[in-house]
Every structure is written in structure tokens, then in C-alpha cells.
């Protein structure tokens, strides 16, 4: 099953801070993103405007190897290369624009399940994803 949706949020973080946090692949990354698993995090390759990393979460237990691309100004696109429960080629993108001293961020989330666990995650995201992801990202960015 494939699910695609967009979501928007406004944050006190400037567009460059939005991109910096999304592309911070330091050992501190899992601590900056509360839903991330320290155990699943691994950097495979880091370039000037792209990276390949493994990330996951402990609940529900899911992981994916993502290709990050931030070659377009104020934008980051994450594409799944490999995952335990989601199809390769799934993506998430964020684009930040200046807004009242912070940013207005538009995001797109598109994933396809490859297992029962993935199916449950994708179905759940279809119903609660736009609101829960907007709230989560706003909370993370407003802490900067």
C-alpha cells in the first residue's frame, strides 16, 4: 500500500537552521531527533550535498537506509535505498522559506509498505501522519 501526503508547519528556526539540523550527521544526531534510535544510526557516506545513512526508530521498530540530497537551496530530500518494511524509492522532502524571522516549512511524505509491519505503519501515517509529523518537526525545530 502506498501513502502520500503533505504537511506544513511554521517554526522559529531560520531556513538555514532547518537544513542544518536535517543534515547534521554527527554522532549527536539521534539525540537531536527524539524519535531516532541510537542503535540504528550509521553514516555510510557523507559528501558536500548528499549523504547515505541508516536510521530507524525503536517503536515501532523500523529502519531504513536513506539517501539525503540537499543540493537545492533550503530543501532536503530523503529517498529510501533499503528498508526492513518500506519500499526503496519512498521519500520525504522538506523545503523551508523565510517567515516572520523563522521559517514556513512544507514537507511531502510518500512511502509504500513491503510487509505487514510496514503496512500498519503506512496505514497509521495515512490517518495521523500530517498532523503528528507537523507537530513533531515543529517541536524539534523550535528547540533550536
Burial class for 104, CB neighbours closer than 10 Å (0-12, 13-18, 19+): middle
Residue-wise pLDDT tens digits, 48-85: 999 999 999 987 788 999 999 999 999 999 999 999 99
- What letter would DSSP give residue 144? -
Residue-wise pLDDT tens digits, 40-57: 999 999 999 999 999 999
Q: How far apart are CA 143 and CA 74, in angstroms?
A: 19
Q: How far apart are CA 41 and CA 139, in angstroms?
A: 21
By C-alpha distance, which of 76, 80, 110 is closest to 93?
Answer: 76
Query: Are 126 and 3 contacting, i.e. CB atoms less than 8 angstroms apart?
Result: yes
Residue-wise pLDDT tens digits, 86-104: 999 999 999 999 999 999 9
Average pLDDT over residues 137-143: 97
Calculate the average pLDDT of the chain.
95
Amino acid at each position: 500500500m502506498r501513502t502520500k501526503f503533505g504537511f506544513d508547519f511554521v517554526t522559529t528556526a531560520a531556513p538555514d537552521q532547518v537544513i542544518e539540523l536535517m543534515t547534521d550527521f554527527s554522532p549527536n544526531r539521534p539525540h537531536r531527533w527524539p524519535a531516532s534510535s541510537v542503535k540504528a544510526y550509521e553514516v555510510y557516506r557523507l559528501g558536500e550535498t548528499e549523504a547515505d545513512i541508516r536510521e530507524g526508530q525503536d517503536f515501532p521498530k523500523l529502519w531504513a537506509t536513506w539517501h539525503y540530497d540537499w543540493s537545492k537551496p533550503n530543501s532536503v530530500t530523503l529517498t529510501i535505498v533499503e528498508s526492513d518494511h518500506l519500499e526503496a524509492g519512498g521519500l520525504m522532502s522538506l523545503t523551508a522559506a523565510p517567515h516572520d524571522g523563522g521559517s514556513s516549512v512544507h514537507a511531502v511524505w510518500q512511502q509504500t509498505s513491503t510487509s505487514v509491519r510496514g503496512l500498519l505503519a503506512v496505514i497509521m501515517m495515512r490517518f495521523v501522519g500530517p498532523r503528528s509529523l507537523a507537530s513533531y518537526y515543529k517541536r524539534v525545530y523550535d528547540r533550536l
